[in-house]
Amino acid sequence: MSRFADIDFFHWATFAMALLSMTLGVGIVAYLFWEGGPFIWNHGAQFLMGLDWFPDEEYGAAPMIFGSAAVTFLALVFSTPLALASAIYTSEFLDPRQRLTVKGIMEILAGVPGIVYGLLGVSLLSVWIRDVFNLVDGYTLLSASFLLAIMILPTIMTLSEDAIHSTPAEYRQAASGLGLSKMEILFSVALPHATPGIAGAILLAIGRAMGETIAVMLVIGGLDRVPEPWYDVFSSGQSIASKLGREAAETLGFGEHWSALMALALILFFLVMFLTAFGNWLIKGFRK
């Protein structure tokens, strides 16, 4: 009787924890809609496409949306080739012990707090970019992109390596029996099979990059503007996350300024939620 009572208690305890988690998630979404939804509804395109941000006067989200898109895109350009090359080498050319060592190091790097990367970016990366490109300072979109590339590289590398390494052995054996070389098996069998998992890894990395706050805030420069010309990566900028990090504490939680920030948070939430959900769907589909 005691055994069944213990099982019943464990069942209801875990159900309560799951319900609490769901309630917290729904509560956060509801709060963002409550605070930011009416602002987007009332200002619409003027808010989404506006270029100027002056508290209590005008609110334009375009510079922040552009900054988030620019630094995330550049971070992917910098990190994805290196991450995929590392994943292929780790999966296909290292023995099991070396593979586990490399993956362990990458997973440790993935868990390093953003503030640590941010401090390294301020003290090393921004100074290096300033000196190499002969700039006034190194707080630029390029600096934020390089820093994000370093931060998301372990995520792409470890998940992609898992996808490549999980190619069924019978597929490899069948390809080998047909006379394919190791490189031909890699490009004709392993990589095509791992493509959904790799795509999911990249999408999850995009979600992390778009949501990163402290590290980006320390090196991006903090100017609410779209560069002129728009492709000037040596210009200072602002991302949605860095904007929220800079100004959320100034608004004291009320007023139009706060509503504008919550509208930005709502936009970021939907972008990250969509990318994360799509990435998880790809990875689950790959595993099935």
58 token code pair? 């005008």
Largest Cα–Cα distance in the chain?
77
Identify the CA nearest to 262 among candidates 242, 239, 237, 244: 244
Mean pLDDT is highest, among 11-15, 156-160, 170-174, for 156-160
Identify the CA nearest to 160 among candidates 189, 187, 196, 185: 196
Mean pLDDT value across residues 207-222: 88
Predicted confidence at residue 255, as pLDDT, reads 81
pLDDT at 6 over 80: no
Would you place residue 7 in the very low, low, confident or very high pLDDT band (cuts 50, 70, 90)?
low
Q: How far apart are CA 51 and CA 262, in angstroms?
A: 18
| Domain coordinates in residue numbering, the chain | 45-287
Q: What is the pTM of this model?
A: 0.85
Task: Summarize pLDDT for 63-86 with one digit per residue, the tens.
Answer: 999 999 999 999 999 999 999 999
Predicted confidence at residue 274, as pLDDT, reads 83
Identify the CA nearest to 243 among candidates 207, 273, 268: 268
Read off φ and ψ for residue 168, nearest 5 degrees: -55, 140
* Domain 45-287, CATH among 3.30.200.20, 1.10.3720.10, 2.60.40.420, 3.90.1150.10: 1.10.3720.10
Q: How far apart are CA 216 and CA 158, in angstroms?
A: 23
Average pLDDT value over all residues in the chain: 86
Are 152 and 159 contacting, i.e. CB atoms less than 8 angstroms apart?
no
Are 126 and 220 contacting, i.e. CB atoms less than 8 angstroms apart?
no
Predicted confidence at residue 67, as pLDDT, reads 92
Predicted confidence at residue 114, as pLDDT, reads 86
Predicted confidence at residue 78, as pLDDT, reads 95
Q: How far apart are CA 70 and CA 218, in angstroms?
A: 17
* pLDDT over 90, % of the chain: 28
Task: Summarize pLDDT for 24-78 with one digit per residue, the tens.
Answer: 988 988 998 898 888 888 888 888 888 888 887 889 889 999 999 999 999 999 9
Task: Summarize pLDDT for 91-116 with one digit per residue, the tens.
Answer: 888 888 888 888 888 888 888 888 89
Q: How far apart are CA 143 and CA 235, in angstroms?
A: 10
pLDDT at 1 over 70: no
Predicted confidence at residue 285, as pLDDT, reads 67
pLDDT at 5 over 60: no
Task: Summarize pLDDT for 256-277 with one digit per residue, the tens.
Answer: 888 889 999 999 988 888 877 7
Preceding peptide of 229 cis, ω within 30° = yes
pLDDT at 10 over 80: no
Would you place residue 151 in the very low, low, confident or very high pLDDT band (cuts 50, 70, 90)?
very high
pLDDT higher at 182 or 76: 76
Q: How far apart are CA 270 and CA 38, in angstroms?
A: 16
